[in-house]
Structure 1
Amino acid sequence: MIKRFNLLVICFTLFFAVFLPQEKSVAATGSVTIAESTVNIRSGPSLSYQLVKQVKKGEKFTIIKEQGDWIQIQLSGSKSGWVANWVVTKSANGSTITTSNKKSAAQANTNQLRVRSGPGTSFRIIGYLSKGQAVTVLDDNENWLKISASSVGEGWVAREYIDFKTTTSNSSKEEDKSISIGTGTVTDTLNMRKEPSATGTVIGKLAKGTSVSIYSKKNNWLEIKYRDQKAWVSADYVQMGNQSQPSNTNAGSIGTVTASNLSVRSSSSLNAEIIGSVSKGQKFTILDEVNNWVKIEFQPGKIGWAAGWYFNKDKESSSSLTKNSRITILHDGTNIRKDPSVQSNVLLRANEGESFPIKSLSNDWYEIILPNGTTGYIAGWIVSTNGTGPGIDKQGAEGHLKYKTIVIDPGHGGIDTGATGTGGTLEKELTLRTAQLLSDKLKAAGANVFLTRSSDSYLPLPSRVRMASVHQTDAFISLHYDSSIDRNIRGMTAYYYHSYQKKLAESVYYSTNAQTKLKSRGIRSGDYHVVRENKRQAVLMELGYISNSAEEMTLTSGQFQESVATGLYNGLAMYFKEK
């Protein structure tokens, strides 16, 4: 009997040791400091637990213990609660331990590097960095880095213009300073490899149209710079030089600089060396034009290239630039006006899909030719373009997003991997990547942003919807990537359930689809839990098919992720602007 009893005790001990969650104890001397403006404290270690208190940025609390991504803290009196570790900084024995190890020393590798208020060209410029100026990298967002510099404080800069400082040997430092032997343009989605071989380890992908600097050639492989390291790509998919389009016949026209400070480069590529700069309001004779880059004499005897979309050209120049270009209407009921101003009289209203030839440009407006032969004007930031006409992005989206509360829901997570792409892409990882990019953009615009999950963790659907209710959110956006047994299907789709959600779905979908140029599968009513059970404005976005091998490569590229996050951001701004 005693033997049987002892056996039972051992069995129960083993059961609890194996199946009960193991909690990591932390010394009571440790503490956390709240890092976000407003943070929720919950009764348990999950977003699904009840909210017990809200605390403010800068408040400090003693750590009781940790479990997974959550920290139990001591509140007032005998009360305690749980806080997510990604919204606090931890300290122990007087030293701070950040939950992210992204901070690193770096420096600008070009003069007049624009520092922006958020991760994207639509954010306002808050200052400039000089070549060699030291910065601290605080965070990253695909193609953008959040930095801190003594001259401008905190801001965002394009990743390609920042070099990380390393402690490598002198020989490796010399290698980093190797000189580019030319430039090229990627002609198709392209793998980047560690070695110049088809069996080399893939370390990333380049999207079609990406410009690259070339450092050396070995057999049929090209060595390029990829972020802060070198990579190899097949020469079969890189067009050398700037031969993608013949020169434009805009020579002799006059262009006026519209950017406050515009870099002039040695050739028509963002990778080319900066050799000077020009200022807003300066006028120059355009000597040549290639791929929307203009060749100008920026100083007596000095000739260089500048981005043509930062020039206003005279009527003759505009007509030449926009020859054979058309705009396409993105929304039903879009206004076409008599003059290039939102105060001008409306001539007619156009519907989604209608297309009109572009006659000229007038600041941020297209002059278009109407079916009866007359002309009208349409705002450039609410249409898409094809041909050689440049797209127009209206500045100031921050004003429509500031103080808005937005919940971003990265689909799946944890044991729920979602779909798996033909190349092994996991939907749960891609949705989180997109959500974090979008979150950074929205936070930079002053929005109050909450993610249903910030790590690879499982969260039930009712808990995701509950976050929208708890935070009284102005918009709930659930991010997904699609899959089908038919590997040929591709494209983007948006879903809503309640009629009051349709306007949000339209704004977000049209903007994102126009920005990414994926095949349009339209806006549909869908019986999905996160929109059906949601009493707030909500939309579920299927952002492309990872079951289509070609589309999977596009969706996982850095260029696409930047574009899709920008499209979602602009769509939300458009929704709040028109609401």
Structure 2
Amino acid sequence: MKKLIIPTFCFAVLSTVAFEEKISAAPLHAEQANIEDVMFVQVNSGSLNMRKTGAEGASIVAKLANGTQVTVYLESKGWAKIKANGKEGYVSTKYLSATKPGTLTKSAVTIKTTTKYVNVSTGSLNMRKSGSDSASIVAKLTRGTQVTVYSESKGWTKVKANGKEGYVSTKYLSATKPGAVKEAAATVKTTTKYVNVSTGSLNMRKSGSDGASIVAKLTRGTQVTVYSESNGWAKIKANGKDGYVSTKYLSATKPGTVTKAAATVKTITKYVNVSTGSLNMRKSGKATASIVAILSKGTKVTVYSESNGWAKIKANGKDGYVNIKYLSASKPGTGSTAVTPAKTT
């Protein structure tokens, strides 16, 4: 009985060993094909990390330069087991190519490119490493720079300029070199106007906004070329600079030239009539406005207009506003029937 058991047990052990050897020699799965294929490292910049295992966090065995020839044993789940420069490890399959970088395939030769030009109004255009505002800057391209366009996507254009490759915003490229005037552009009409401010100067700003930075200060009578007017702002050119000014401070005629309509403006003469003290002449028709001059009783004034209880006048060579109730048509003391005010303002 013992003799029968021992041979049977030995046969079972030998059969198990043979079965395991057969499994280990079995062919790889379909996804692990390309056994001992020759491929090449293809990276745009830097080098490719060869890791100990097929995982991003695995330790780095070696760094492989662009174009390095490798022997691929198997590929699985985006990783390739390879041998390169006498070492074995794993690399990402997306950085391997069947052709050595620099050798053009037939399909690559048919890629079409176009030529465009940098068209920025001021400064320079940033060429970035990728199509993102936060990507690092590869180069700065000046207005009119010729670029070779490879592709355009999502507002970004892949270009080559001055021997470098990168991405620029599509909106700053044009098919024609800046400076070439199109026929349509030549028909733009402009008008001539003049700065008309009563005091000080007029701010010409970078854009049509009160908060925009000041480009220049324009004195009264400055001639300007008006390109367009919108929302109370005029786009102009003055003294060789472009900018925006408020339309209310521009006039079609140069200040100081009297038009026919202006010549018909009528003025009247009146007199300061206060019971005591003097009369304040203010900068505007408001009791809180700053005082321009102090007028004594009987002062002769020229009245330009009267509105809302205030008179716009000229007295002693100065312009300002006074309260109407402290003016009379006749000089105080001449026996007129004018009412004498009770107080000054």
TM-score range, shorter chain: 0.3 to 0.5
Larger radius of gyration: 2
Q: TM-score, normalised by structure 1?
A: 0.23
Q: TM-score, normalised by structure 2?
A: 0.35
More helix by share: 1
